[in-house]
Amino acid sequence: MISVQVKEGDRLRFRGRRVGMKEHVAEVEAVLGQDGGPPYRVRYEDGHEAVVVPESDCVVEPRG
């Protein structure tokens, strides 16, 4: 789980869990948890949206 405060506009970079699995990047559209915590509504590069609770394979890239 992520231990930083996430804000709308931040990007979540999900690393591949297996060899050959491609990385996915999503922009945070809404923070649904308290104090910047999960879950988050995100939009992936291909346009689809999802609600996610990131795990240790995720890196937060602050907006800006």
Write the pLDDT tens digit of every residue in 10-50: 999 988 667 777 888 999 999 999 988 999 999 999 999 99
pLDDT at 46: 93
| Contacts by residues 36-39 (CB-CB < 8 Å, ≥ 24 positions apart) | 36/4, 36/5, 36/6, 36/7, 37/2, 37/5, 37/6, 38/1, 38/2, 38/6
Question: What stretch of H or E contains 52?
Answer: strand 49-52
What is the pLDDT, as a whole number, of residue 25? Answer: 94
pLDDT for res 23: 85
pLDDT band at 3, cuts 50/70/90?
A: low
24-31 and 40-44 strand pairing = antiparallel
* Res 15: pLDDT: 82
